[in-house]
Amino acid sequence: MTAGATWLDRFRSKPRVRTALAAALPVGWVTTFLFLPYLLLLLHSLWKLDDNQMIVHQWTLASYRRLFTTAVYPSTIWFSAKIAFSVTLLSLFLAFPLAYLLAFKVKRHKNLMYMAVIIPLWVSYLVRAYAWKIILGQEGILNGLLAQAGLIHRPLEFLLYSKWAVIIALTHIYTPFTLMPIYAVLEAIPNSLKEASQDLYAGRWNTFRHVILPLSLPGVLAGCTFAFVLSMGDFIAPQLLGGNDSALMVSNVVVSLFGVAYNWPLGAAVSVVMLVIVVSLLTLANRLERRFNYRGETAAARKTDALAAIATEARA
Amino acid sequence: MNRFLWSVGIGVFIFIYAPLLVVVLYSFHDSRIIAWPLQLGTFQWYGVLFQDRGMLDAVAASLKLAALAVVISLGVGVPGAFLLDRHEFPGKTLFQRLVLMPLILPGIITGVSLLTFFTFIGLPLSSGFPAIPGWPVVLGHGTALVSVVVTQVFARLQRLDRFQEEASMDLYANGWWTFWHVTLPNIRTALLGAALLVFTLSLDEIAVTFFLIGRQNTIPLQIWGLLRRGITPEVNAISTLIFLVSVIVIVVWARLMHDPEGANA
Amino acid sequence: MTDSLVELRSLTKRFGDFVAIDDVSLHIGAGEFLTLLGASGSGKTTTLRMIAGFEQPTAGEIWMDGRPIHFLPPYKRNINTVFQNYALFPHMSVWDNVSYGLRMRHVAKPEITERVGQVLEMVHLEQLARRAPRQLSGGQQQRVALARALVNRPKVLLLDEPLGALDLKLRKEMQLELKHLQTQVGITFVYVTHDQEEALTMSNRIALMRAGRIEQLGSPQDIYDRPATRYVADFIGETNLLPARVASPVPAGSGRVTLIVDGQPLLAPAPASATSAGQEVWLSVRPEGMSLVNGATPGDHNVLDGTVEEGIYAGSLTKLRLRLKDGATLVLHLGPSDHAVPVGRTARVAWPVDHGVCLVG
């Protein structure tokens, strides 16, 4: 016996209605609490800060002008980019061998070992950055060990409170993060490709160079992009470990402009510039990744993989 | 070549872990000054920790904030994941990008944006019930972490066997019943995993919290405060505890992820 | 006998306690098409992989051209493999895939161009040289894999179930193409498959493997007409396996043995091993070798009576199933011109004595 159809059934069976109902909450929320805030950020960058330190809703490009003409802002952005670049490069050189090892040389307990490498990602970012204070300080572990080994007679001062400390700490924090996509891609290379390469007279180095390396590029790209973007946006490590260099990363500038230096429009402008840089990088990475994606997997599948990877990041 | 690879790999592994080990060891360091050499042998810093009123308040605030973040992010994220998985609509790509922004962008940008938003609409940072953190930071955490829920649940939905739902409806169950009794149990571990993730990430969240926090402090901000005043070994103790909790959480999460549609979940 | 090109000497392969290959010895001749046939888990693929060099034998040796090769890595053996899933390099064009082996051996560029062009023509893929593997159909990918291996002019070509992923019609076409290719090029083919029809069509010799051992080695006719064991008789083609008892033993391999089948004394060629009186054996008779008898029995034929249970129409033939007095079942094939027998009637079946095979194990 089939129940009779009511007008409610008819109404709800329309695909548009179903979509509208399903979309109401998520779209509404995201619009209110994500779209509007980002929009407001942009608007603030175009508003004016009057002489009484009040934000006036008048359109002006003064903030951007100031940003691009005052030397300190572009140089800060450039400095941040350089640090982020160093961190990315170092992370890559550390992450790749370990990822390779895990993917190809570890036979037993592979999952366990992988988890072991990922665990630090989940430990508080602050803890991991702060640990370097202990290690690199004048009375810290590194200096202590070097002195005991007789290698130095005075503590190395440049270690802590310098951009090197920031770079080392950020590398330490983001290496597992770079490792994840590289591992995922290496793991996905079918064993038969390695065997085929060897069957065709390529030794281990040639197999690596001609087969494994090209196929690892999407993962390398993803890992490097995340490391770079996250490093650029970091403001904790520079303040903890940067010393005199502590205010010279972009995010520190933003923090002070929204705080002590109270200039929200300018702060918003700097943020918008940072946002543009980051989004451009990500778009570029996306394009490149599609070019190097030889397996022909659907974009949706890759996206969820990459995103699942991001989802376990611990960021400041 | 093999030996070179192994030594580099192990070296990197040590590099990833050593600093954490340092913090844990120094939480037992018998001196007020954190310097080399290490003098093991005391629990005093843990004692100091448990008597630090400010820190304990921060722990309470963090836990409440995390719990609320889980509720919000699940409440918005699960429908969001279903929306992305099953519906097409104009602006879907924009919606997708928007949802992912907090994950992809440095937290500071999201934090600053939310700050301008709440200021603009005139919601004070310490508004809300006194016992819990203010509305802005609660809404901020929830929103920022919606992305986590959406990606996790969406990934699970994509792998879901649609035919089970069709079978259920073929056998006379209506939409709601099917959702509660067929779909939901199948994505249960994804939901739990996402909730766990959100909880942990919220506890450690700094960037967004920094801009939106009202009178209360969360654990990271409290630690941050202590660090700026100069290191006290108490920080090592709380850090070690955080480490332990994190390890436990990730082990549980890993178990969930490898036990699809849990016999025990 | 052709010179033996590859020799497997007492090969054994163990994975933990699992014995995948158990003391296998085999001579493979130059220019022959040898098939390793068997069910999954029989060890045929493991054997192939050991010849290629992807697995090391636990014991035993592999010799090629008078020299031991079992300790050499794959890239030092003059052997190429066509993989089951083709294993084409996704980031290289068809041309780069096919030229890979030549490039690795630093062959001069002009020679590479010539040889790759030749082999692509041979497999009819000249037009697709610039394409990427994912833009090709399964059949095309399979031919690229073949070309990639052949262009190196190996002494031995190993093929691991290369046609498994293709649909039936394409598979049959490719079987013939591969066979022609092999005769044309003259390279030794070692072919692995679980499809016995495929093996019968293409091979010079078949090694039927079971649980890590060679159950029988011989030409397709040998294996089909004179299966050595019950397993072989059952695996290849369709057959009737009638339980029988030896009435009077005869010396191994000579004359005929008398068996009691379904209470009747029947004759069969003597099996290769000695028999004893009362020994329980099997009589294997292929359905197409049997026919219905009305009236007088032809000479030198065995005869059995049974009740018709079912007739199954199968296009070019009809399979008739009969039940014998002792309960055993018999299936025979009727051609389109034979008269069908209604279900429930008794029928008389006959076959030439020499068509039967007495199987001891």
Average pLDDT over residues A54-73: 83
HEC string of chain B?
CHHHHHHHHHHHHHHHHHHHHHHHHHCCECCCCCCCCCCECCCHHHHHHHHCHHHHHHHHHHHHHHHHHHHHHHHHHHHHHHHHHHCCCCCHHHHHHHHHHHHHCCHHHHHHHHHHHHHHCCCCCCCCCCCCCCHHHHHHHHHHHHHHHHHHHHHHHHCCCHHHHHHHHHCCCCHHHHHHHHHHHHCHHHHHHHHHHHHHHHHHCCHHHHHHCCCCCCHHHHHHHHHHCCCCCHHHHHHHHHHHHHHHHHHHHHHHHCCCCCCCC
Q: pLDDT category, A309, cuts 50, 70, 90?
A: very low
User: For C58-78, b where at least 16 C-beta lie within 10 A, e where not — what string?
Assistant: eebebbbeeeebbeeebbebe
Closest alpha carbon within chain B to A277: B105
Shortest Cα distance from C90 to chain A (angstroms)? 5
What pLDDT sits at residue B178?
A: 80
* Ranges A70-74, A242-246, C191-195, C266-270, most confident: C191-195
Nearest to C89 among A193, A206, A296 (CB): A193
Nearest to C74 among A198, A292, A294 (CB): A198
- Mean residue pLDDT across chain C: 90
Query: Which residues from chain B sit within 8 angstroms of residue A235, using beta carbons?
Result: 108, 207
- Asked if the Cβ–Cβ distance from A294 to C132 is below 8 Å, we say yes
What pLDDT sits at residue A245?
A: 57
Q: Number of residue pairs across A and B with CB atoms under 8 Å? A: 257
Indicate if the pLDDT at residue A303 is higher than 50: no
Lowest mean pLDDT among A87-101, A223-237, C27-41, C267-281: C267-281
> Between residues C232 and A22, which one has the greater pLDDT?
C232
Chains A, C in contact: 3+ Cβ pairs under 8 A?
Answer: yes
- Asked if the Cβ–Cβ distance from B83 to A123 is below 8 Å, we say no
- Structural domains of chain C ordered from first start: 4-231 (3.40.50.300), 238-359 (2.40.50.140)
What pLDDT sits at residue A247?
A: 64
Instruction: Write the single-letter amino acid at C133.
Output: P
Closest alpha carbon within chain A to C74: A199
- How far apart, in whole angstroms, are the C-alpha atoms of residue A268 and residue B117? 12
Q: Do A222 and A286 form a contact (C-beta atoms < 8 A)?
A: no
- Asked if the Cβ–Cβ distance from A295 to C148 is below 8 Å, we say no
Query: Which residues from chain A sit within 8 angstroms of residue B100, using beta carbons?
Result: 307
- Asked if the Cβ–Cβ distance from B235 to A130 is below 8 Å, we say yes
Q: pLDDT category, A316, cuts 50, 70, 90?
A: very low
* Chains within contact range of chain A (3+ C-beta pairs < 8 Å): B, C
Sort strands A55-56 and C4-15 into parallel, antiparallel or unpaired.
unpaired
- Asked if the Cβ–Cβ distance from A202 to C90 is below 8 Å, we say no
Average pLDDT over residues A207-220: 93
Q: Do B190 and B154 form a contact (C-beta atoms < 8 A)?
A: no
What pLDDT sits at residue B173?
A: 78
- Asked if the Cβ–Cβ distance from A195 to C105 is below 8 Å, we say no
Domain spans, chain A: 60-310
Question: In chain A, pLDDT over 90 holds for what percent of residues?
Answer: 33
Average pLDDT over residues A187-193: 91
Q: pLDDT category, A306, cuts 50, 70, 90?
A: very low
Indicate if the pLDDT at residue A298 is higher than 60: no
Closest alpha carbon within chain A to B85: A300
Phi-psi region of B122 (alpha: psi -120 to 50; beta: other; left: phi over 0): left
Chains A, B in contact: 3+ Cβ pairs under 8 A?
Answer: yes
Tokens 């709800």 appear where?
A12
Nearest to C134 among A202, A210, A296 (CB): A296
Q: Number of residue pairs across A and C with CB atoms under 8 Å? A: 69
Q: What is the pLDDT of residues B13-57, one digit of tens each?
A: 999 998 888 888 888 887 777 777 777 778 888 888 888 888 888
Class of domain B53-257: mainly alpha
- Asked if the Cβ–Cβ distance from C100 to A197 is below 8 Å, we say yes
- How far apart, in whole angstroms, are the C-alpha atoms of residue C107 and residue C141? 24
Shortest Cα distance from B131 to chain A (angstroms)? 23
- Asked if the Cβ–Cβ distance from A192 to C104 is below 8 Å, we say no
DSSP A79: H
Neighbours of A17 (CB within 10 A): 12
- How far apart, in whole angstroms, are the C-alpha atoms of residue C23 and residue C44? 13
Q: Do C171 and C199 form a contact (C-beta atoms < 8 A)?
A: no
What pLDDT sits at residue A295?
A: 63
Q: What is the pLDDT of residues C228-252, one digit of tens each?
A: 999 999 999 889 999 998 888 777 7
Indicate if the pLDDT at residue A311 is higher than 50: no
Average pLDDT over residues A13-26: 82
Which residue of C91, C107, C153, C156 is the best one to mutate when testing the A interface, meaning the one whose CB has the most A CBs within 10 A? C91
The helix (H) or strand (E) run that includes residue C263 is none
Would you call C204 exposed, middle or buried from its count of C-beta atoms within 10 A (0-12, 13-18, 19+)?
middle
Domain spans, chain B: 1-42, 53-257
What pLDDT sits at residue A140?
A: 76
Indicate if the pLDDT at residue C129 is higher than 60: yes
- How far apart, in whole angstroms, are the C-alpha atoms of residue A40 and residue C199? 73
pTM for the full predicted model: 0.83
Nearest C-alpha neighbor of B64 from the set B114, B110, B130, B144: B130
Which residue of A8, A16, A17, A33 is the best one to mutate when testing the B interface, meaning the one whose CB has the most B CBs within 10 A? A33
Q: Which of residues 139-198 of A touch B (CB under 8 A)?
A: 139-141, 143-145, 172, 175-176
Q: Which of residues 26-45 of B touch A (CB under 8 A)?
A: 26, 33-38
What pLDDT sits at residue B131?
A: 78
Shortest Cα distance from B194 to chain A (angstroms)? 9
Q: Which of residues 68-127 of A touch B (CB under 8 A)?
A: 94-95, 97-98, 100-102, 105, 111, 115-120, 122-127
Nearest to B250 among A35, A122, A175 (CB): A122
Question: In chain B, pLDDT over 70 holds for what percent of residues?
Answer: 95
Residue A232 touches chain B, beta carbons under 8 Å: yes
pLDDT in tens for each of the 265 residues of chain B? 788 888 998 999 999 998 888 888 888 887 777 777 777 778 888 888 888 888 888 889 999 999 999 999 999 999 999 999 888 888 888 888 888 888 888 889 999 999 999 988 888 887 777 777 888 899 999 999 999 899 889 888 888 877 888 888 788 777 777 888 888 888 888 888 889 889 988 988 888 999 998 878 888 888 888 887 766 788 888 888 888 888 888 788 777 776 554 443 3
Q: What is the pLDDT of residues C61-115, one digit of tens each?
A: 999 998 999 999 999 999 999 999 999 999 999 999 999 999 999 999 999 999 9
**CB-based contacts of C286, cutoff 8 Å, min separation 6:** C237, C238, C239, C240, C355
Average pLDDT over residues A21-42: 90
What pLDDT sits at residue C106?
A: 94
Q: What is the pLDDT of residues A115-168, one digit of tens each?
A: 888 888 878 888 888 888 888 877 777 777 777 777 777 777 777 778 888 899
- How far apart, in whole angstroms, are the C-alpha atoms of residue C167 and residue C214? 29
Sort strands C59-64 and C4-15 into parallel, antiparallel or unpaired.
antiparallel
Which residue of A199, A207, A215 is the best one to mutate when testing the C interface, meaning the one whose CB has the most C CBs within 10 A? A199
State the complex-level ipTM. 0.84
Tokens 């294996």 appear where?
C223
What pLDDT sits at residue C257?
A: 86
Q: pLDDT category, A3, cuts 50, 70, 90?
A: low
What pLDDT sits at residue B251?
A: 82
Shortest Cα distance from C298 to chain A (angstroms)? 58
Q: pLDDT category, C14, cuts 50, 70, 90?
A: very high
Closest alpha carbon within chain A to C152: A200
What pLDDT sits at residue C161?
A: 94
Nearest to A314 among B82, B201, B223 (CB): B201
Sort strands C205-210 and C33-38 into parallel, antiparallel or unpaired.
parallel
- Asked if the Cβ–Cβ distance from C101 to A210 is below 8 Å, we say no
Average pLDDT over residues A80-109: 92
Distances (CA, A) of B262 to A289, B179, B250, C229: 35, 18, 17, 48
Nearest to C91 among A192, A202, A214 (CB): A214
- Asked if the Cβ–Cβ distance from B246 to A111 is below 8 Å, we say no
Nearest to B109 among A100, A118, A271 (CB): A271
HSE-up (13 A, CA, CB side) for residue C218: 13
- To the nearest 10°, report the CA torsion of A94, A99, A100, A104: 150
Shortest Cα distance from C101 to chain A (angstroms)? 4
Decide if domain A60-310 falls under CATH 1.10.3720.10. Answer: yes
Residue B1 touches chain A, beta carbons under 8 Å: yes
Largest CA distance in chain B: 72
- Asked if the Cβ–Cβ distance from A98 to B13 is below 8 Å, we say yes
Average pLDDT over residues A7-17: 76
What pLDDT sits at residue A300?
A: 38
Q: Do B49 and B240 form a contact (C-beta atoms < 8 A)?
A: no
Residue C73 touches chain A, beta carbons under 8 Å: yes
Nearest C-alpha neighbor of B58 from the set B200, B198, B215: B215
What pLDDT sits at residue C311?
A: 87
* Chains within contact range of chain B (3+ C-beta pairs < 8 Å): A
Overall residue count recorded for chain A in this entry: 316
Closest alpha carbon within chain B to A20: B89
HSE-up (13 A, CA, CB side) for residue B241: 16
Question: In chain C, pLDDT over 90 holds for what percent of residues?
Answer: 61
Shortest Cα distance from C297 to chain A (angstroms)? 59
- Mean residue pLDDT across chain B: 84
Closest alpha carbon within chain C to A213: C91
- How far apart, in whole angstroms, are the C-alpha atoms of residue A83 and residue A138? 23
